Structure 1
């Protein structure tokens, strides 16, 4: 009896193969956007990248070697339009967009929310929230009929975390826009808009936020499993939302916090706080 060595076909669950995705926001190998792009490529998809500046392009040149990378500063409408025109001229059809872009200016560190300046707030809204709408509008003719758009949010916009400064209201605006984009795009397509609402992550960007490390360590104590959310857990959820397997999900924020939100009153954490107050 001879052994059948015929290779069995691999079941392509995510159905990303031979599709093109645009990933915005890769800063380094720790970026959520980078891990998403790696998973897309591992699933047979092609990724086109955008970065915000020539300087960033040079810093990720080795990381994204042999990939197509386009400079696009989302604060500049002409660069967004140039991106759309370039993809149009090249006949690119986009099956999915990853919007992993956020920026807030804290020149004097984290200050009380009521001291936020108009310039700080409006710039953060422009880059972190409105850019999703402006990019999608520019790319509307490049999307396939059933394309999926995924942005990266935060696990809650109602928790007044001092270490996050004024970004929670900005992320709330981003999250709200998902419903309105879904509705307006439904007039001519089936493009879906969703968010991965991530818990605290250990990334290069977060490490620069004053007080963030302490909040991250606290999250590890509160999360039932005793381990913080991993970047790959957020990335994997995003990739699922990009895939046709999530075709029934739109205008939603999928929370990936490893259960932190159900465990704020963990007995050991409460005891640690009350014991410190007694001491």
Structure 2
């Protein structure tokens, strides 16, 4: 038995886009440790990617922007589980979903468009609540639900714009989910909050590359955080080994938050 003790356990992973996705890295770790992964992706194109990357995994399609799709995919996965026998449950769910519309370029935060903000809240935050609600009867008594946040929602990074307040809402939501689920189960809700990662999604954020290179200098080891490092933390939170952790946002930034006054950064800034 591996340390994580996830052999034979079943996990639904929402959000795989390609091989660079955090969702992909989490799924790889779970599979390597003997777990079964069921993927839920946004589109037929991503379905093809998921099947290529995980040929032994079931893949379902769901655009979480429409809540009816979440209900539909819940029914499809429930039917899949029922075919295996009575009382087959899910041991965990990964919510690795975020979206922001930067099609009009960067705007000062106070110029954020209401439609863009509400759409991002719906997809990036409320979908987490909705998935928890609609999948609650499919979860094992001590299942674990993990979402992906960011290392800080208090740093006013101009190129991240309105997504930080939305991630703050996500962080708060997991606490309320943990409390409300405690009335009828021992399901845990936690978040992994990585520093800057090299993913396809992040590449679409204006100015992200420069921020990523800065983060690499600010990390004490002078080496960027890897997607696998964040994913391994998520896998731990999904496992029974983290049974004492609930309603927490775990920062995974390789120590960047303590090193903003690194002498090399100061020297390069003030000359």
Please give the range of the TM-score, normalised by the shorter of the 2 chains: over 0.9
Match of 1:110 among 86, 92, 106: 106
Q: How many Å apart are 1:13 and its aligned residue?
A: 1.2
Superposed, 1:27-106 pairs within 5 Å as 27-90=17-80, 91=82, 92-106=88-102
Query: How far apart, CA to CA, are the structure 2 residues paired with 1:71 and 1:238?
Result: 22
2:167 aligned with 1:177: no
Q: Which residue of 2 aligns with 1:5?
A: none
Q: Which residue of 1 aligns with 2:219?
A: 223
Larger CA deviation: 130-139 vs 88-97? 88-97
Q: Which residue of 1 aligns with 2:141?
A: 145
Query: How far apart, CA to CA, are the structure 2 residues paired with 1:135 and 1:60?
Result: 20
Q: How many Å apart are 1:268 and its aligned residue?
A: 1.3
Q: How many Å apart are 1:59 and its aligned residue?
A: 4.0
Q: Deviations over 1:79-137 (max 9, x none)?
A: 11111112222325110001000000011112111111000000000000000000110
Q: Which residue of 2 aligns with 1:158?
A: 154
Query: How far apart, CA to CA, are the structure 1 residues paired with 2:154 and 2:78?
Result: 40
Structure 2: tracts of 5 or more residues without a match: 83-87
Q: How many Å apart are 1:76 and its aligned residue?
A: 1.3
Q: Which residue of 2 aligns with 1:15?
A: 5
Q: Deviations over 1:161-216 (max 9, x none)?
A: 01212110010000000110000000000000000010000111111111000000
Q: Deviations over 1:202-254 (max 9, x none)?
A: 11111111100000000011110001111110000000000000000000000
Query: How far apart, CA to CA, are the structure 1 residues paired with 2:41 and 2:97?
Result: 10
| SS class of match (1:162) | coil
Q: How many Å apart are 1:58 and its aligned residue?
A: 3.0
Q: How many Å apart are 1:148 and its aligned residue?
A: 0.2
Query: How far apart, CA to CA, are the structure 1 residues paired with 2:48 and 2:268?
Result: 47
Match of 2:163 among 167, 170, 173: 167
TM-score, normalised via structure 1 length: 0.93
CA contact (8 A) 2:178 2:189 kept: yes
- Count matched residues: 265
Q: Which has the larger radius of gyration?
A: 1
Q: CA RMSD in A?
A: 1.0
Structure 1: tracts of 5 or more residues without a match: 1-10
Query: How far apart, CA to CA, are the structure 2 residues paired with 1:97 and 1:18?
Result: 15
Query: How far apart, CA to CA, are the structure 2 residues paired with 1:144 and 1:221?
Result: 43
